[in-house]
Structure 1
Amino acid sequence: MSRSTPYQPLLLRILHGLTGILAIAAMITGFLVYNTFDGRFGKILIPRINAIIDIHGTLAVFFLVVFPAIALYSFHAGNKRLLQQDSLQKLTEFGRPIWWVSLHRIANTLMLIASVLALISGRMMKEEWLPTGELNHSWYYLHLIAWVVIIFCLAIHVLMSSKVGGVPLLVSMFLLKVRTEDTPSHWLNGLRGWWGNLSANFGTGNNLLLRVVEVMVLLGIVAAFILPLLAGG
């Protein structure tokens, strides 16, 4: 591995890769659902996939199961890549390196929020709505908006990662090299230490805004699991 290539923790690479694959697959199949049953805002002529709603729903469920792990990792071990107290202020410094970094952080944070909205709204939708032409439900519109925001933020995430860290940063997420202290056998001790410090550190620090976003996202994840049950879905 080149000295110019940063090392990414193995757990981050696993979570990032798994959630990335599931998210992209869900976005693609989500577009195919829209393209098949809606298409009011534009569509492409491709063969119809009758089971596309089931495929999209299955991918979304897997994403819901994995998402809490990447969310917790992002808000704690990866919090430097998320919204900071001065991120909005730094957006006024256009063209400077901190502008690119701040835009990257904001996009990453918005992507977490939009993912929760997509999960909640998708879970609250009924499978029969779109096939029967019921396209004006609020949950469906929220799902579409969340999908657009995720696409936009994902594009910024990739572009800004390339801008901020260059090709070495992008390559580092796919490297197979693992340091001895980063092997799975060391994860349990690390997890115990992290869990022991989580409650103590949750309300500390000066990034209150990010803590508020974290609470919103975590409550949203809980809602994605519970609301369909309460609604009889």
Structure 2
Amino acid sequence: MKKVPKSDQVPTKPYQPLILRIIHNIQGIMIIMAIITAFWTYNTYDGRFGKISLLPPWEEIEGIHGTFGLFTLLIFPIFVVYVIHRGNKKIIQSNTLNQLKLVNKPIWWYSLHRLTNTLIIFALTFAVFTGKMMDENWLPEGELNHFWYYLHLISLILMVFMIGSHLLMNVKIGNYPLILSMLDAQIREKDSYNLWWQNIIFFQQNWLNIVKTQWDELSPHFKLLEITILFIIISAWLISIIK
């Protein structure tokens, strides 16, 4: 039998856990909609750094942007906890910085992919925090020179760049099947909806031991990453309430 050249082989589509697909896709939709409405808000009330004249002014757009931003913020800690505890092989490892010295070798690309995945989490942390520091009345009242407004604009530019980098690295590492795997409707037995209620009851009865066990199993740098991001998210809520 003639062997198919490696370059002609069709990459296999990896299987992504159902929970990851749900959280990742909802988070992704909220982020994309937040970015689109953020630009429309900027285009309506600001436009000093360039604007699209064909995009009509819409005074209600800032409230819509705030809604998508709020949903992004609410989902974000769930996403962070899941990724660090269940998907930490896809983010920065303790030896990633050393592996990044092996330029153009396969492990270099995988390490770069992990670094990109980690940086997009920090970029989103920056975006939700600066967004929470803003006042919804600033732009409608023409107050365009606030420190937090400028930082939020920068954070949105970073998010666009990081999303693009994230997609490019996925294409490099797993080609189009890796991206399509996040949209796959396939469900394996271990992810069956029939098991969800059973798992919820089990977690409810044993949550303290589960949390303690999972925390003990984390590497120190994962613990630091989780504490840092969750602390920033909680701080954003507390500061916004106090102010």
Q: TM-score, normalised by structure 1?
A: 0.89
Provide the rounded CA distance (Å) in 1 between the counterparts of 2:241 and 2:132. Answer: 10
Match of 2:15 in 1: 7
SS of equivalent to 1:136: coil
Q: Does 1:57 align with 2:66?
A: yes
Partners of 1:203 and 1:211 within 8 A in 2: no
2:191 to 167, 170, 182: 182
* Cα drift, residue 221 of structure 1: 1.8
Q: How has the CA–CA distance of structure 1 residues 194 and 13 changed in structure 2, closer, same or farther, with 3 Å as cutoff? A: farther
1:136-188 per-residue CA deviation (whole Å, 9 max, x = no partner) reads 22211221222122111111111111111112111111111111221133235
1:38-117 superposed matches below 5 A: 38-45=46-53, 46-117=55-126
2:232 paired with 1:220: yes
1:198 corresponding residue in structure 2: 211
Q: Distance in 2 between matches of 1:87 and 1:194?
A: 32
**Residues 116, 221 of structure 1: 8 Å contact kept:** yes
Deviations 1:64-108 (A, max 9, x none): 221121111111101111111122232232222222222221121
CA shift for structure 1 position 226 = 2.2
Q: Does 1:20 align with 2:28?
A: yes
Structure 1 vs Structure 2: percent identity of aligned residues?
41
Give the letter for the 2:210 counterpart.
N
For 1:202, the aligned partner's letter is: W
CA–CA separation in structure 1 for the residues paired with 2:157 and 2:182:
25
Using the TM superposition, give the Cα deviation of residue 194 of structure 1 relative to its aligned residue in structure 2, in angstroms: 7.6
- Say if 2:219 is the partner of 1:211: no
Residue 29 in 1 paired to residue 41 in 2?
A: no
Identify the residue that residue 181 of structure 2 maps to in structure 1: 172
CA radius of gyration, larger in: 2
Select between 188-197 and 71-80 the one with higher mean Cα deviation.
188-197
The one-letter code matched in structure 1 to 2:223 is R
Q: Which stretches in structure 1 are left out of the alignment for 5+ residues?
A: none
1:120 matches 2:129: yes
Q: CA RMSD in A?
A: 2.2
Following superposition, the deviation at residue 11 of structure 1 comes to 0.7
Q: SS of 1:76's equivalent? A: helix
Task: Evaluate the alpha carbon distance shift between residue 35 and residue 103 of structure 1 in structure 2; reply closer, same or farther with a 3 A threshold.
Answer: farther
Q: TM-score, normalised by structure 2?
A: 0.85
Q: Number of aligned pairs?
A: 229
Q: CA deviation at 1:41?
A: 2.6
